[in-house]
């Protein structure tokens, strides 16, 4: 390997930033903790426990804990790390003299990730797939990688404020739609012929309600494609996945993921994500984040639960969602980096670092395992809709233990996870060595 090309090889184990791998491992586990309800229950149950899986007793308690403590935060941490990873990869290559090849490698990585994402939500059946959206973000963020931390934080903060404004506007827009729909339905009952706008309001309200509270027809459709053949599963989930990935995400990713990625770039440059700041700094992050995030999350949860899980109430709670989510991300980061900085639970940290090193493999394996568990085709167990909400977290715990064990064992013999190896080989147009 020549000096000019040395910077475009995949990063070796010795050059990895261990704190980032630990955080990435935690985020991968946390993402499964959030996604499991969409794997095992009707998709509307993700936000509305009255739809499926139980909404009383321990099931309601689990719903509250997960949503106050972790909703959006694991995605937020993963987004921070994704932004940091862009800076690390391109900086390493540019410092080694890779020149224009740094850009070429970056864009190849993102385009292959995009293809993996499309396969993930079409053929691997995961409707909540995020690789596709992350690849789009990565294509945009390359141009921001050299900005100063202050600029990155300013832009990221401004986008988060815009996201809050969008949630606020969405809430008031939905209230208006509901009022128009109720008035139109009253006019229909009185025998009045409806205008095009009135019919449109009724349809818009039905669609919003259907996304929050499954109709019997929609619930039957979801159960049917989970219990049918593989072809039925692909065809059944495809329209919803397509709409989510191509209609909802382009706006969503810009205001939900990109701000955190920009902030992640800044935090890496400031030495925060690398564990380079003082223990007191990380403790301060934890206290400040939780002092804002937990009370605000409880306030939002109270709005939803006290309303009987009303859609309008849920949208009202969303108006402060980005603020509470950001605060909880700061709190979680402070807690995890305190653990890393203080050297606590070293054995667990090594296991989590192994999981994070194999983040792509473990993320996709979660889908493969859950497809086997919850779909009925082939050797599938067909457990979809059979477990209560709290029981799904026994599944989560079992998968966590399995991924911890196999990640540690695998990396004793191999350089990368299997999907990481494939991604690197495709990115560099050369088969990478896999065995140590």
For residue 160, CA distances in Å to 167, 217, 301 come to 11, 37, 21
Query: How is residue 236 written in tokens?
Result: 């059944």
> Could you list the pLDDT tens digit for every one of the 436 residues in the chain?
333 444 455 555 544 678 999 999 999 999 999 999 999 999 999 999 999 999 999 999 999 999 999 999 999 999 999 999 999 999 998 888 888 888 999 999 999 999 999 999 999 999 889 999 999 999 999 999 999 999 999 999 999 999 999 999 999 999 999 999 999 999 988 888 889 999 999 999 999 999 999 999 999 999 999 999 999 999 999 998 888 888 766 677 778 899 999 999 999 999 999 999 999 999 999 999 999 999 999 999 999 999 999 999 999 999 999 999 999 999 999 999 999 999 999 999 999 999 999 999 999 999 999 999 999 999 999 999 999 999 999 999 999 999 999 999 999 999 999 999 999 999 999 999 999 8
Q: Is residue 125 part of a domain?
A: yes
Q: Is residue 153 part of a domain?
A: yes
Q: Specify whether the CB–CB gap between 142 and 106 falls below 8 A.
A: yes
* Domain span holding position 94: 6-170+215-427
Alpha carbon 293 to chain centroid distance? 19
Helical ranges in 96-147 per DSSP H: 100-122, 131-141
List the one residue out of 278, 403, 276, 277 whose CA is nearest residue 18. Answer: 276
| Placement of tokens 């619930």 in the chain | 219
d(CA 400, CA 127): 21
Q: What is the DSSP string of 156-186?
A: HHHHHHHHHHHHHHHHHHHHHHHHHHHHHHH
Q: Is residue 206 part of a domain?
A: no
Q: Is residue 244 part of a domain?
A: yes
d(CA 30, CA 26): 6
Q: Is residue 285 part of a domain?
A: yes
Q: Is residue 283 part of a domain?
A: yes
- How many structural domains is the chain composed of? 1
Q: Is residue 346 part of a domain?
A: yes
Q: Is residue 374 part of a domain?
A: yes
């Amino acid at each position: 390997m020549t000096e000019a090309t040395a910077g475009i090889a995949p990063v070796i184990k010795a050059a990895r930033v261990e704190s980032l791998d630990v955080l990435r491992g935690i985020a991968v586990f946390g993402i499964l903790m959030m996604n499991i309800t969409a794997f095992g229950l009707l998709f509307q149950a993700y936000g509305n426990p009255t739809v499926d899986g139980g909404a009383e007793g321990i099931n309601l308690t689990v719903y509250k804990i997960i949503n106050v403590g972790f909703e959006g935060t694991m995605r937020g941490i993963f987004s921070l790390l994704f932004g940091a990873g862009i800076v690390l990869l391109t900086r390493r290559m540019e410092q080694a003299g890779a020149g224009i090849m740094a850009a070429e490698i970056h864009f190849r990585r993102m385009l292959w990730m995009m293809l993996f994402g499309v396969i993930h939500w079409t053929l691997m059946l995961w409707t909540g797939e995020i690789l596709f959206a992350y690849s789009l973000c990565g294509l945009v963020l390359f141009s921001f990688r050299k900005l100063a931390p202050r600029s990155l934080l300013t832009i990221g903060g401004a986008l988060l404020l815009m996201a809050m404004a969008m949630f606020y506007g969405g809430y008031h827009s939905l209230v208006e739609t509901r009022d128009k729909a109720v008035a139109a339905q009253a006019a229909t009952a009185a025998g009045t012929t409806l205008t095009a706008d009135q019919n449109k309001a009724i349809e818009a309200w039905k669609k919003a309600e259907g996304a929050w509270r499954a109709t019997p027809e929609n619930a039957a459709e979801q159960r049917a494609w989970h219990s049918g053949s593989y072809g039925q599963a692909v065809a059944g989930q495809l329209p919803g996945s397509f709409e989510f990935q191509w209609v909802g995400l382009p706006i969503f990713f810009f205001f939900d993921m990109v701000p955190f990625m920009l902030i992640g770039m800044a935090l890496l440059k400031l030495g925060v994500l690398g564990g380079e700041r003082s223990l007191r700094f990380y403790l301060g992050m934890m206290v400040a984040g939780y002092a804002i995030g937990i009370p605000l999350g409880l306030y939002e949860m109270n709005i939803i639960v006290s309303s009987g899980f009303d859609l309008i109430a849920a949208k009202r709670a969303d108006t402060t969602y980005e603020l509470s989510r950001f605060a909880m991300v700061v709190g979680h980061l402070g807690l995890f980096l305190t653990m890393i900085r203080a050297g606590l639970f070293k054995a667990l940290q090594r296991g989590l670092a192994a999981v994070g090193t194999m983040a792509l493999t473990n993320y996709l394996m979660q889908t493969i395992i859950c497809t086997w568990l919850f779909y009925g085709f082939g050797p599938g167990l067909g457990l979809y809709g059979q477990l209560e909400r709290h029981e799904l977290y026994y599944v989560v715990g079992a998968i966590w233990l399995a991924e911890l064990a196999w990640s540690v064992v695998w990396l004793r013999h191999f350089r990368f996870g299997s999907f990481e190896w494939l991604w690197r080989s495709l990115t560099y147009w050369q088969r990478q060595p896999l065995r140590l």
